[in-house]
Amino acid sequence: MTKNKKNQPVKKETDVGEGILSPNASWEFGDNVPEKFSAHVKRSVPLYEEGHNVVQKLSDHFVQENSICYELGVSTATLLKQLAQRHSKAKWVGVDIEPKMIEQAQKEIEIFDGHLSNIELVVEDINVYPYEKSDFIVSYYTIQFVPPRLKQALLNRIYETLNWGGAFLMFEKVRGPDARFQDILNSLYTDFKLEQGYSSEEIIGKSRSLKGVLEPFSSKGNLDLLSRAGFVDIMTIFKFICFEGFLAIK
């Protein structure tokens, strides 16, 4: 580890793909990540765009005219702008704690369609944001980055925010139910990333950067969170290796 001019340790940064540099245990969504995020996540998450298609089609069952709908951790708004175009009479609010992500989202929305007036982008922590009553809330690989001590309280707030009959759609990376299954999932996911053209160094660098930042639960752990929040009607709507989408209806 090198030191800066003030003789303080400086964490060594590693290329984790797409030219994104990140130190050990310090992954974040600022710096140059927003402008490279879309390309990076499409290569890193299996069936990323197919999952977007599932979300859009599911939204038809819950979004009404004048509904208020949220995407938590909106990142560059790739999914939100598709939903807003599909349901043009509903209000869509994208919440993200990273200002640079919101800036990039605004740019991409303007490129996509500068007339999407039913979108509002907000720089805010999803754990404290004052939600209005909603018919549809999406978290697309976001809650896995929420510290475990805060997850249950967030899920409780989401349940209370939904109108009766409203839906919460949560996509998450999930851990295996035991060590053997976790080893299998890790092996399959590593093979996937190698097939995407990532080098061993990039894969290891990304894994190291996510230590203590990405905190996924097992499928059962996520189901338990949803149940404790008050959801009774829950099902898995999407599953591929260690990536899973849960549909919970209030």
Does a structural domain hold residue 8?
A: no
The predicted structure's pLDDT at residue 9? 47
Which residue type does 205 have? Answer: G
Does a structural domain hold residue 34?
A: yes
Does a structural domain hold residue 108?
A: yes
DSSP string, the chain: -EE-TTS-EEPPEEE-STT-EEETT---S-TTHHHHHHHHHHHHSTTHHHHHHHHHHHHTTT--TT-EEEEES-TT-HHHHHHHHHSTTSEEEEEES-HHHHHHHHHHHHHHHTT-TTEEEEES-TTT--PPPEEEEEEES-GGGS-HHHHHHHHHHHHHHEEEEEEEEEEEE-B-SSHHHHHHHHHHHHHHHHHTT--HHHHHHHHHHTTTT--PPBHHHHHHHHHHHT--EEEEEEEETTEEEEEEE-
The predicted structure's pLDDT at residue 1? 41
The predicted structure's pLDDT at residue 41? 86
The predicted structure's pLDDT at residue 56? 98
Mean pLDDT of each 10-residue bin along the chain, 250 residues long: 47 60 58 72 92 98 96 94 95 95 88 75 96 98 96 98 98 96 96 92 84 90 98 97 98
Domain count of the fold of the chain: 2
- Identify the domain containing residue 136 by its residue range: 47-176+214-249
Tell me, yes or no, whether 113 and 235 share the same domain: yes
The predicted structure's pLDDT at residue 2? 41
The predicted structure's pLDDT at residue 243? 97
Does a structural domain hold residue 9?
A: no
Tell me, yes or no, whether 92 and 193 share the same domain: no
The predicted structure's pLDDT at residue 99? 92
Tell me, yes or no, whether 145 and 198 share the same domain: no
The predicted structure's pLDDT at residue 117? 85
The predicted structure's pLDDT at residue 45? 94
Tell me, yes or no, whether 191 and 110 share the same domain: no
Question: How far is 216 from 192, CA to CA, in rounded Å?
Answer: 19
The predicted structure's pLDDT at residue 158? 98
Tell me, yes or no, whether 155 and 81 share the same domain: yes
Does a structural domain hold residue 10?
A: no
Tell me, yes or no, whether 116 and 200 share the same domain: no
Return the CATH number at 222: 3.40.50.150
Tell me, yes or no, whether 124 and 199 share the same domain: no
Tell me, yes or no, whether 148 and 234 share the same domain: yes
